């Protein structure tokens, strides 16, 4: 079933806050995003309206073996509080492989535990040139999501949509 992006994002945040380990994020440059969770995964199609606004649709997908092979399982995606010294090392450009590995190996935290943190590191987000090419099921779902996204765009922005159609 295809749902509104905002509804699915709320669901993902709730699931992430319950279990922050085991998540992986994957995106391409065509507005496709796959979020692989420990129990359920999601595929989105997103359209940028302007630099501060996007719309999108998505669907829950099963955790198939092909999805699990897409990203490095040893690094969970998510949010990590980082201490002041590591933060300063990152912003001053003193980045070493050891520092990156240390940060990536740190367990992600639920969002409510990060409220008082001065610095938060998000990621990693894995990139792929075109998620549609990963499997036939990804391609079929992307086509359905693209159709629904175009419908949403026409409904929310009829004057803009008429320019392109």
- pLDDT, residue 74, reads 77
Read off the pTM. 0.83
- pLDDT, residue 116, reads 84
Beta-sheet strands, E only, within the chain: 2-4, 24-27, 32-36, 41-50, 53-61, 78-81, 120-123, 125-127
Asked if the model's pLDDT at residue 165 lies above 60, the reply is no
- pLDDT, residue 70, reads 62
Categorize the per-residue pLDDT at 110 as very low, low, confident or very high, splitting at 50, 70 and 90: very high
pLDDT digits (tens, 9 = 90+) for 47-76: 998 899 999 999 998 766 666 666 667 789
For residues 120-148, give the mean pLDDT. Answer: 84
- pLDDT, residue 18, reads 95
∠ Cα 78 49 140 (to 5°): 70
Residue that the structure tokens 């803009």 belong to: 160
User: pLDDT averaged over the chain?
Assistant: 86
pLDDT digits (tens, 9 = 90+) for 139-148: 888 899 999 9
Cα torsion 115, 22, 48, 55: sign: negative
For residues 8-37, give the mean pLDDT. Answer: 92
- pLDDT, residue 138, reads 78
Residue 116 CA to its chain's centroid (Å): 23
Residue 115 CA to its chain's centroid (Å): 20
Asked if the model's pLDDT at residue 163 lies above 70, the reply is no
- pLDDT, residue 162, reads 64
For residues 111-134, give the mean pLDDT. Answer: 84
């Amino acid at each position: 079933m295809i749902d509104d992006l905002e509804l699915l994002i709320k669901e993902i945040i709730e699931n992430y806050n319950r279990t922050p380990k085991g998540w992986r994020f994957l995106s391409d440059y065509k507005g496709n995003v796959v979020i692989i969770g420990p129990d359920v995964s999601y595929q989105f199609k997103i359209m940028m309206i302007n630099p501060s606004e996007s719309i999108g649709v998505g669907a829950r997908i099963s955790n198939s073996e092909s999805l699990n092979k897409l990203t490095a399982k040893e690094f969970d995606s998510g949010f990590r509080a980082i201490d002041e010294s590591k933060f300063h090392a990152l912003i001053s450009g003193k980045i070493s492989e050891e520092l990156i590995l240390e940060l990536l190996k740190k367990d992600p935290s639920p969002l409510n535990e990060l409220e008082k943190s001065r610095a938060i590191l998000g990621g990693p987000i894995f990139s792929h040139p075109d998620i549609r090419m990963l499997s036939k099921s990804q391609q079929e779902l992307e086509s359905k999501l693209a159709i629904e996204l175009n419908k949403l765009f026409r409904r929310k922005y009829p004057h803009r949509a008429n320019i392109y159609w």
